[in-house]
Amino acid sequence: MNRFTPLALSLSFAFLFASAAHADGAFRQSVGVDEGLASGLDMMLLNSSLLRNGDNVWERAREGFQLPEVNADIVRRQERFYASKPEYFRRTLDRSRKYLFHIMNEVERRGMPTELALLPLVESAFVPTAKSHVGASGLWQFMPATGRHYGLEQTWWYDGRRDVMEATRAALDYLENLYGQFGDWNIALAAYNWARATSPAPSPGCRPAVRK
Query: Using CA atoms, how far apart are residues 92 and 189, in angstroms rounded to an integer?
Result: 21
15: DSSP letter: H
Residues linked to residue 159 through DSSP beta bridges, in sequence order? 154
Q: How many residues are listed for the chain in this entry?
A: 212
Residues labelled catalytic: 123
Q: Return d(Cα 36, Cα 79) in angstroms, integer.
A: 47
H-only helix segments in 72-183: 72-83, 86-96, 100-109, 119-123, 144-149, 164-182
As a whole number of angstroms, the distance between CA 117 and CA 109 comes to: 12
Half-sphere exposure of 23 (CA within 13 A, CB side): 0
